[in-house]
Structure 1
Amino acid sequence: MKILQLIHKPQNRGAETFACQISGHLKALGHQVKIVAIFEGNATLPYEGEIICLNASQGNRFLDLRGWRKLSKIISSYQPNVVQANAGDTLKYAVFSKIIFDWKAPILFRNASEVGRYLTSPFQKRYNSFLYRKIDWVASVSGVSERDLLEHFPFLKGKTEIIPIGLEIKKQESLVRLKPFSVKHIVHVGGFSFEKNHKGLLRILSLILEKVPQVHLHLVGDGPLKEEIELEVKKMKLESHVSFYGFVNNPLAFIDAADVLVLPSIIEGLPGVILEGMYCKTPVVAYNVGGISEIVNGDTGILVEKNEEQKFAEGVLKSINQPENVRIDNAYRMVVKRYMNEDIALKFVNSYEKIVTDEE
């Protein structure tokens, strides 16, 4: 089959990285893949082929006739069997391009979060309802994401399934030694956005330091709120206990070197970083949001109800002082068995075949 993967832009974010990784596996299975980015970006994504850019204007993305036309020309030339829209503005561009320029390929939307969290007005719900009525299939990253979608848009019933995010098989080649050497290391990997809740993480760190002063927090990632969090660290006088790294090419090496991986997000779909922690056999502590409870439970990690910062701190301390090897091994086996991209690519192929058959 021919698959066109539509991504928001070349950026180091889970949706784009996963789309590129899956595309590599689809090609290995004998399918043809073309990746198209809506907006410009400067990240190097894990994909060996060309990534075509529409060079669309973000300021004009709600009425971008030029961008929709460029996408339609690519689709007309390539003649894909399926167009897969992967988060961001991709669904909007796919739907309006198809409506206005009348191309025929079915659209599969990859739902990687809880859409209901972003519907803040009746207009947004009506607008999204219009978009969702124009698609052929939805692959939700978790059971929670799927239920949230169907709760807000029940007309999609019968047109959704769960296909989780996955991992690549990786050999750890570049090792990281976290400093200072004499302390316990907490690692957080994620963009600096409100969903990731960095301010809450700093409050949790303060609670941990009251019990164990020999702890250091390593923040891996970049994003719009990074400067604000750097100022918050100074305000809370935590400079000697927090390090910032920006974007790194080898976050797995940081996770592997950590004593514990933390994810106190307030909104998530099914975060790949937790799977990476389990793959590295690093203890995981996370808030119970989105689909996290589908992978983190008493057998695989420590799950804390959202905003219970004291209990989160206690979970981190327990993971540092008394890591449970049985739990760590359970988590590793689960990831290897259920969340590797080689197998997940086959699930997407099954979906493509289903919607192509239905179209015929």
Structure 2
Amino acid sequence: MRILFLIHRSQARGQEIFATQLANRLLESGNEVALVSLYAGEFDLKFKGSHFRLNLTSGVETLFPWHWQRLIEVIQEFNPELIQANGGDTVKFLSLTQSVFSFSAKLVFNNGGVVSHYLDSNWKKWVYQKLLSAWDGAISVSRYSQTDLAQLLPSTCKQTQIPIAIPAQEFLLAPRSESQVFVHIGGFTQEKNHVELIRIFGEYLKRDPKAQLWLIGDGPLKMQIQTAAQQVAPHAIRFFGAVPNPWALVPQNSILVLSSKMEGTPAVLAEAFLAKIPVVTYAVGGIKEMAEGFATIRLVEPGDHPSFIEAMTYWAHLPAEISGPALANSASKAKDRFDFGRVSNQFLEFYKDVCG
């Protein structure tokens, strides 16, 4: 098949990283795949095929027809059978382009999150429904995400649910740290809720003044999050930026902590299972589904800081003879559940179904 992937920008965000890994996998299996990014980005996504960069500078530019023409030129050059939109402004941009220019490629939305979280008015919901009115297929990362999106899709749009996948790899972590390290890996965006996590960590420091919180990632709210860290615990919170292999920085005795307001099914959880790192997270979005069958993740209701701190304390003090077998069991289950070969085949079968 000839498949065109549309992404927001070249950045170290789960949506773009997964889309690139999937595109590479499809290339390796004999398909022709190209990548288009709307906005400029400096992160190296390591895509092995052709990457077309539109280099838009703001979301307003997606509303201007002369930028749609640039995408049409790529479509005419590559001549895809199917175009997949992957998060951010990709649905809006592709829908508007299709409304003016005619092309035969089928449109598929790879729904890696919870769309309704961003549609806080009936007007926005109506607009999104109009944008999706001519789409041919939608792939959701979880049952939660699929149910959420279904209310916006036309009856003619085919739907399926395909989980995230993690490329087969060995997670080589950093040596154990003398102090307890809690780590967060993710973009500095509103939904990741870093400021609340910093407040929770500030309370935890009363129990263990030597503990550290490591924040790995980057994004538009970086300055705000750095300010919050300075106010709460400047000596104990470290920033590492967006790096190609974040787990190489993570000590073997770390604990992953997430306080997101909303999530689809974050790949970092699957990676934590495979890396044998315990997890404490708010039970939002598709995270409950990801936790099914795994004993090394503690779910906390959003806003329940005392329970979050108790879960952090539990993992920090659990003897290795108890935690070790449980972490090994989670890694074994994760290797099977998040197998990239099986997942990429599911994507390809759905593409064929949509294209008829």
TM-score, normalised with respect to structure 1: 0.92
1:3 deviation in Å?
Answer: 0.5
The percentage of counterpart residues that share the same residue type is 33
1:257 deviation in Å?
Answer: 3.0
Partner of 1:275: 270
The amino acid that maps onto 2:268 is V
Q: Where does structure 1 lack aligned partners over 5 or more consecutive residues? A: none
Matches within 5 A, 1:184-223: 184-223=180-219
Going from structure 1 to structure 2, the CA distance change for 1:60 and 1:197 (only over 3 Å counts) comes to closer
> Is residue 312 from structure 1 mapped to residue 311 from structure 2 by the alignment?
no
Question: Contact 2:9/2:38 (CA < 8 Å) preserved in 1?
Answer: yes
Question: Contact 1:301/1:331 (CA < 8 Å) preserved in 2?
Answer: no
TM-score, normalised with respect to structure 2: 0.93
Matches within 5 A, 1:216-295: 216-236=212-232, 238-255=233-250, 257-295=252-290
Partner of 1:53: 53
d(CA) in 1 for partners of 2:251 and 2:288? 22
The amino acid that maps onto 1:77 is E
Question: Contact 1:9/1:37 (CA < 8 Å) preserved in 2?
Answer: yes
SS of the equivalent of 2:206 reads: helix
> Is residue 350 from structure 1 mapped to residue 349 from structure 2 by the alignment?
yes
1:194 deviation in Å?
Answer: 1.5
Question: Contact 1:256/1:282 (CA < 8 Å) preserved in 2?
Answer: no
Which whole-Å deviations, capped at 9, do the CAs of 1:197-223 have from their partners, x for residues lacking one?
111111211222222223111111111
Which whole-Å deviations, capped at 9, do the CAs of 1:220-252 have from their partners, x for residues lacking one?
11112222222222222x122111111122212
Partner of 1:299: 295
d(CA) in 1 for partners of 2:301 and 2:155? 29
Aligned length: 352
Matches within 5 A, 1:1-360: 1-150=1-150, 152-153=151-152, 155-156=154-155, 159-172=158-171, 175-177=173-175, 181-236=177-232, 238-255=233-250, 257-297=252-292, 299-322=295-318, 324-357=323-356
The amino acid that maps onto 1:346 is N
d(CA) in 1 for partners of 2:117 and 2:306? 25
Question: Contact 1:114/1:267 (CA < 8 Å) preserved in 2?
Answer: yes
Going from structure 1 to structure 2, the CA distance change for 1:55 and 1:158 (only over 3 Å counts) comes to closer
The amino acid that maps onto 1:301 is I
Question: Contact 2:168/2:339 (CA < 8 Å) preserved in 1?
Answer: yes
d(CA) in 2 for partners of 1:62 and 1:75? 16
d(CA) in 2 for partners of 1:157 and 1:147? 16
The amino acid that maps onto 1:307 is G
Q: Where does structure 2 lack aligned partners over 5 or more consecutive residues? A: none
d(CA) in 1 for partners of 2:325 and 2:301? 23
The amino acid that maps onto 1:52 is F
